[in-house]
Amino acid sequence: MLIAVPDLLSPAEVADVRAIIDGAEWVDGNATSGHQSALAKHNEQLPEDGDAAKQAGRLILEALGRSPIFFASALPLKIYPPLFNRYGAGQEFDTHVDNAIRLKRGSDFRIRSDLSITVFLEAPDDYDGGELLIEDHYGVQRVKLPAGHAVVYPSSSLHRVTPITRGRRTASFFWLQSMVRDPEKRRTLFDLDRAVQRLTGELGGKDRSVIELTGVYHNLLRLWADS
């Protein structure tokens, strides 16, 4: 399931994040790569333990906490601290699959990567190329969103970032472990949640059917979720 999260960051929040990260020291993007990714990855990255990544990451985590569509689609249990990368002319990230387990170096924090997230921090008209290509059962999905928008997609999918031919692409990326491991169950809960929200708007929160369907949602979540 691929879900776009529009306006995760406001223009002012994008500007705040960029003010933090643009002047920081960037390093080779393979600082966090596994063996396979290191062969495919050509970009720059903020050191994940640096002050800039931590400060900007907190702003993104706060925005995620305010996003109903993010919570409904991801049902997050644990979120890896946001990382930041940028691609200049000729740089790309060829086809790869994200590591199944992400371990934060120097700590005991680890997650199973169920979902990957990219938060776009550059206006799409400011660069050419740099599309996020995600392969799923319906073919290849091409994603290039406005600054402040995000996309959530399966970490198990084959995906890549196409070469930059003009300008620079800046983004945040990270992974999460969902409370609901099975993607089909997660999709069912997301579809049910959207239907309940729509009916609540049409019928009101006190309608008997709305209350019963809300109960079905929470009972399924109770049945399927880990905590």
Question: Residues comprising the binding site for Fe cation?
Answer: 96, 98, 159
**Residues with Cβ < 8 Å from 118, sequence gap 6 or more?**
132, 143, 150, 151, 171, 172, 173
Going from the C-alpha of 112 to that of each of 12, 109, 119, the distances in angstroms are 32, 11, 20
> Residues 171, 130: contact at Cβ < 8 Å?
no
User: From CA 143, how far away is CA 3, in angstroms rounded?
Assistant: 11
**E strands along the chain, which residues?**
3-5, 27-28, 41-42, 44-45, 76-79, 83-87, 92-96, 101-103, 110-112, 115-120, 128-129, 132-136, 139-143, 150-154, 159-161, 164-166, 169-178
Helix, strand, coil percent content, the chain, rounded in steps of 5: 35, 30, 35
β-pair partners for 152:
3, 117
Annotated binding site for 2-oxoglutarate: which residue ranges? 169
CB 164 within 8 Å of CB 127: yes
Q: Would you mind telling me the total number of residues written for the chain in this entry?
A: 227
Q: Which residues are annotated as a binding site?
A: 96, 98, 159, 169
